[in-house]
Chains A and B, each alone.
Chain A
Amino acid sequence: MSLPLALEISFAVVLLANAVWIVIAREVVAAVIIFVAYGLLLAIVWVRLAAPDVALTEAAIGGGVTGVLLLGAAARLRATEATAKPASVSTRLVAAAICVTTSCALAYVVGSLPDAAPTLAPAAMASLPETGLGNPVAGVLFVYRALDTLLEKAVLLLALVGVWSLAPDRLWGGTPELCAFPRRSSTLLLLAQLLPPVGILAGVYMFWVGAKLPGGAFQGGTILAAMWLLVVMTGLEDIPPTSRRWMRLLAIVGPAIFVVIGFAGFALANAFLAYPAGYAKPLIIVIEGTLTLSIAITLGLLAAGPPVRAQHQ
């Protein structure tokens, strides 16, 4: 057994141990913290699978922002832990049987994949020079399957509207509240003053470099959202009320420009979301830039939750 393989085996073992620990942990807060660690470990596994873009997204969204969201929910739902009844033994046995069957079926499928694996990599790389991009994943996201990315952004906006609509009617347009640290701490204040400039730089850099190297709009936007959430959690700033026009405009500017460029493709290049020759890269940069801003605002607002204070308090 070679050394790299031993390393992969240890990764897989720790990953599975973390997953089991999440399911059997006693308290929900402990389970969420282990889930964040699990997300970071999964990011390393993605790097071992030669997928750095996915690793960045998993570390940022899967580990980071989901952790903030679930910790806030766990803190608010802390009172319900005592009243939960564990499932009966028969349910557990049936569930275990179903899960073992599913896992074995999937493992059999993994083991019987054909040796000459079908792949779209040559086709993706063949058309990449025309678009002016150097990162094939960015090419897939914004050129070949740009419609999927547009619809994904629409799903994010729909989820945001859904979360906002869960507030009682009198609170519509009010202020959400992130579970802030209970009192002013000078250490956290120092972190919130030192880290956001670096974080904003890192986020913008990650969006800009995503055209050639691993990175992109989603990863950069998530870092910007994380910096915003850090400042809010310190208590330095409140989240603006959801009725603020500039915030709503920033959230929709990304998909709006995407749709406009899409429809302009009818006039300029004969198809929805088709880019005219030679203008592909500037258009993609415009789409990605506005999308980064929108993603930052949308992810931050999704993590903050529905409004809890009326807007004129």
Chain B
Amino acid sequence: MNATALFGFCAAALVGIGLYGLITDPQPLRKLLAFNLLGSGVFLLFGVVARRGAAAGLGGDPVPHALVITGIVVAFAATAMAAALLVRLFEETGHATLDSDAAQDGNTVTDGESS
């Protein structure tokens, strides 16, 4: 097994770990972190495919590299939007959870600045 295949398996494992965190973590901010983990695993998979396409004097295929750079920037934009949504949800309702049962229980944390 060479290094590229090793990182390919590592990327598959990262996708699994990220997916687990996304499904089971109760707090939305942790879900956001797990989503970023999942994304980085997918990008690493792209990188493995690019490395296998080394030719013409290059170390790797440049087209997947450009796709991954675009992906990292767009993932940051999505993370920024999601984090802003979470903070706004917390300011409006007093708790930051996507669980509708907690909303109906009135299980709120009072916050002095909710508008």
Q: A residues touching B (Cβ–Cβ < 8 Å)?
A: 4-5, 8-9, 12, 15-16, 19-20, 22-23, 28, 31-32, 35, 38-39, 42, 45-46, 48-51, 53-54, 57-58, 61-62, 65-66, 69-70, 72-74, 76-77, 79-87, 91-92, 95-96, 98-100, 102-104, 106-107, 110-111, 113, 117-122, 124-126, 136-137, 139-141, 144-145, 148-149, 152, 155-156, 158-159, 162-163, 166, 168, 216, 218, 299, 302-303, 305-306
Contact = CB atoms under 8 A, between A and B. Distances in A.
A117 B26 CA distance: 41
Given A49-B4, A80-B95, A124-B63, A23 B84 contact: no
A107 B18 CA distance: 15
Interface in B39-97: 40, 43-45, 47-63, 65-70, 72-81, 83-88, 90, 95-97
B72 A95 contact: no
B76 A302 contact: yes
23 contacts: A9-B6, A42-B44, A45-B7, A49-B50, A51-B47, A51-B51, A51-B59, A54-B72, A73-B29, A77-B27, A80-B96, A82-B109, A87-B24, A92-B24, A102-B15, A103-B16, A111-B8, A121-B53, A139-B62, A141-B69, A149-B70, A156-B73, A303-B80
A166 B56 CA distance: 49
> Ordered nearest first, which 10 A-B pairs have the shortest CB separation?
A50-B59, A119-B53, A103-B16, A110-B8, A106-B12, A159-B77, A136-B62, A23-B21, A140-B66, A117-B52
Nearest to A25: B30
B54 A119 contact: yes
B69 A54 contact: yes
A83 B78 CA distance: 26
A103 B12 contact: yes
Nearest to B27: A84
Interface-centre pick from A42, A48, A110 (highest chain B CB count, 10 A): A110
Contacts of B102: 83, 85
B63 A120 contact: yes
Where chain B touches its partner, the secondary structure class is helix
Contacts of B24: 87, 91-92, 95
Interface residues of B, number: 85
A99 B20 contact: yes
A126 B57 CA distance: 11
B47 A74 contact: no
Given A8-B6, A120-B61, A58 B109 contact: no
Nearest to B1: A5
A111 B32 CA distance: 29
A65 B75 CA distance: 12
Interface of B: 2-21, 23-27, 29-30, 32-34, 36-37, 40, 43-45, 47-63, 65-70, 72-81, 83-88, 90, 95-97, 99, 102, 107, 109, 111, 115
Contacts, number: 287
Given A66-B79, A91-B24, A16 B13 contact: yes
B73 A54 contact: no
A86 B21 CA distance: 12
A15 B40 CA distance: 11
Contact of B69 (A84, A98, A218): A218
Contacts of A102: 12, 15-16, 19
Nearest to B18: A19
Contacts of A119: 52-55, 61
B103 to A, nearest CB: 11
